[in-house]
A and B are shown apart, each in its own frame.
Chain A
């Protein structure tokens, strides 16, 4: 009797195990290539293409997103004021939307109302967390505007030198290389310093990038180039103020920020001079100084969380032309040139109980979120946590074909020096040197196909 019972139990176990399979993925061709953001993809090619909420937000989530949307566009003014008080006293711009036009990029200028290029500044050495060391009287970022009665920290002049690249087939492409000069300093700098220009980047799809697990990011790292392909991506490890811990960096041109909360709180404090619970001081140069009689902190946590949720839940524009033969040819060239070694097309997000929309999504951001040596011409020679002066995070390519539409005329790379996607490619050096050379040698038709593919993203 007991033997029979044992056999029955064994049979049931065997049958149960046989029916238990690991969840499988579909073959590549069974996924809809248009869905760059998984379920969070939207079919808009207008200037508002980066401004849509995730389509499947629950009603309370949609409400929070909308609240954040409103405040993302709010202009701050000098205190005291009945609305949006606390700007500055020194700042780079007056609202989030002023730099992130239509939730996209901005203008690579300084000092103008519409300018979206800021400069990080640091002296040699590191801060207590291994990050860049602030400069006395300046903090970690130059604020080039100020409220009435204050002077900006500095003015920054930009001059461009040009360099012409001749491509196979005779096409010539003129690249512009920026040179920056500080003037009108509000105080002597007094020590050797390093500057790094940073153009405001698009803010859509960030919640999906945040949802990629650290394990997944690390799986693409190859710090010592063990596979010998000349590509040695490595993660940045940065101080995350909200959690008070070191984390893998994933946001910012050098992946120097780990979480969206830190990114948004830092932007309020440094870019607009709006203090908040994460960063109770605007910038070290203004320690203890506030404008007028603004509240302290000037931004409530409810607004900070809402704006963070807003950028976390901005949807990704769908790809276009996914069955177009020329685009498909361009995609093959993308692989042949090994662009995909860093611009990794597909990542799968982790599980997030608090926000199901970002859980388990197969996304096509075309980034590995890792740092790569991009050569001397793009180098800012300013280390940022573990990122060296030549390293930059692989920029996501999703939506790149819409930059011109969303934030006309469209600028590319960390300082906006590139005016077209082709120019951006031609600035690639370091680990991307060979890929760039492949593109330079492409015939006109193949180069056009590659650019058509990139523009479809």
Chain B
């Protein structure tokens, strides 16, 4: 009996030790990145590659729309639609770090304003105005960018057919796609270290000559603010508005029915930033935090994974899901809000305390 008890206790102890994975130990990691490494890898592993991909996909969209205009076929329309979906993915990733040139030079509203001014768009199409990349640049934001092009490519409720595309619409689509490609190219170049003035240098040299960031702490906190900001916008606005009003006209990507994918990609973008992971793994905020507080790093990682996974099973057509999958939407919103809260409270506090001024 005594031996049995001892064996049982030993077994329990072994189970307890085995159950203590490194995830639950609040102890430092070795080979922790310093602040410079985190800034460098955010710029080189996430920001630049995401904008490179955005530019490449935007150019592919322009090529597809040009082909459609040259030979309007149903297959061509489908290709252009696929190219539109493709460029949205890196754009949604990039929304997890909406700071720097994208906001300083007003690319965000010019690319992604919503809703589309359909009445004025119809008037512009009915006019004799010549369309080109430059003339579109001067138009109001509600007449250009991704969603104006989405409206023309997909039509209301995605019902557009190639027969429904007039020559004027095709001209306008090409000019819109050209303008999108131009702006995405500007964004990519603004970060590109190959140019004499580039935002990558401003970011990496935070506290060491940067005219934008007075300290590395500021530059690291900017990431937290940006990640939390998109979480708030997605859960509290883009998902909440149509759900609360039970109104599918409030869905952002309502013509292409791709809002669910947009939201999920926003959350993947947030995870990419936190982990400095896009195409390859870099030294991220998670590694920096893990060196001193592994528990916190892992809780953030876990919440971000959960926020991405929360979209599993959700109808891609968000405007329909608000009527049929409300509990799933609420679950996803809660998961995103949990990310926002831990970023704003614990991660921001950690960085304020731990990063030298």
Which residues of A pack against B, CB within 8 Å? 43-48, 66, 69-70, 75, 77-84, 87, 94, 97-98, 101-102, 112-114, 145, 147-149, 292, 405, 408-409
Contacts and interface: CB of A to CB of B under 8 A. Distances in A.
Interface stretch (B24-32, B106-114, B259-267, B320-328): B106-114
A77 B249 contact: no
- Top 4 A-B pairs ranked by shortest CB distance? A148-B123, A408-B104, A77-B117, A78-B119
A113 B140 contact: yes
A54 to B, nearest CB: 15
Nearest to B109: A98
Interface stretch (B8-16, B217-225, B292-300): B217-225
A113 B120 contact: no
Contacts of A77: 115-120, 142
Contacts of A114: 106, 109
Given A84-B115, A113-B110, A147 B120 contact: yes
11 contacts: A44-B225, A47-B103, A47-B222, A78-B119, A81-B119, A94-B142, A113-B109, A113-B110, A113-B140, A149-B123, A292-B119
Nearest to B103: A47
A48 B119 contact: no
A75 B140 CA distance: 11
B352 interface: yes
Interface in B132-179: 138-142
A447 B114 CA distance: 45
B142 A102 contact: no
A322 B201 CA distance: 28
Interface in B218-274: 218, 221-222, 225-226, 229, 236-237, 241, 249-250
A75 B103 contact: no
A48 B223 CA distance: 11
Nearest to A147: B120
Given A45-B221, A94-B140, A79 B106 contact: no
A284 B120 CA distance: 23
Nearest to A98: B109
A48 B100 CA distance: 12
A405 B218 CA distance: 11
Contacts of B221: 44-46
A44 B349 CA distance: 11
Nearest to A63: B236
Nearest to B225: A46
B134 to A, nearest CB: 14
B9 to A, nearest CB: 48
B103 A66 contact: no
B212 interface: yes
Contacts of B117: 77-78, 81, 87, 147
Main secondary structure of the interface of A (DSSP, over half): loop
Contact of A46 (B99, B138, B140, B250): B99
B222 to A, nearest CB: 5
Nearest to B212: A405
Nearest to A49: B225
Nearest to B122: A148
A78 to B, nearest CB: 4
Given A70-B241, A405-B212, A75 B119 contact: no
Nearest to A408: B104
B222 A81 contact: no
A108 to B, nearest CB: 14
B342 interface: no
B56 interface: no
A78 B99 CA distance: 30
Contact of B115 (A45, A81, A112, A113): A81
B113 A75 contact: yes
A147 B237 CA distance: 27
B142 A48 contact: no
Contacts of A145: 140
Contacts of A47: 99, 103, 222, 225
Contacts of A101: 103, 106
Contact of A45 (B116, B140, B214, B229): B214
B119 A147 contact: yes
B124 interface: yes
A347 B237 CA distance: 35
Given A47-B225, A78-B119, 11 more contacts: A44-B221, A44-B225, A48-B226, A77-B117, A77-B118, A78-B118, A81-B115, A81-B117, A83-B250, A94-B142, A149-B123
A113 B250 CA distance: 23
B118 A81 contact: yes
Contacts of B116: 77
